[in-house]
Structure 1
Amino acid sequence: MGGCLEAMKPEILLSQTTFREAREYIKKNVREYHEVEPGYKIFDVHIIGVPPLYVGVDGDRLIFPYTKPCHGTFVVKVPGGEELARLRARKK
């Protein structure tokens, strides 16, 4: 996983999955989630995939799909930090 994300020691909740499976996992297992557009950036990572894309919030942690070329898509959980407030501020 890319630079900054790897340093955060992400907890991998789902590995080598599909965009749809990642979306369904977040929808079913996370009470609070936000829809984001493809390319939405969390820390130094751009979320890619087929919309709708969800970023979940679990306490002070973010849960989101991360696609690593040649390795597939993972659902990861990392400390949210300031990204949490930025994500929530997008709500219409």
Structure 2
Amino acid sequence: MEERIAHPDKYVDDEPKPQFEDPTLYHYAMFSDNIIAVSVVVRSVVKNAEEPWKHVFHVVTNRMNLAAIKVWFRRRPSKEVPILS
């Protein structure tokens, strides 16, 4: 949260990217308020996928953890998969 408050311009919510609705990609819906668990699942899928760029994760969480999850993934970017928010 401190990171998001200190640098709000990095965490601007824009319109959804086209990848969020692309049916040719693999979409996963995750319902969790556990940041570490979400990170482990995403990293595992990306690490073990033949085409990691084709996987899109939709994380549903509460307001309190949404900002923390965004910060977590922005500060720990994956080389194989872009973070879209």
Q: Report the TM-score when normalising by structure 2.
A: 0.31
Which protein is richer in strand relative to its size?
1
Could you say which structure has the larger radius of gyration? 2
Q: Report the TM-score when normalising by structure 1.
A: 0.30
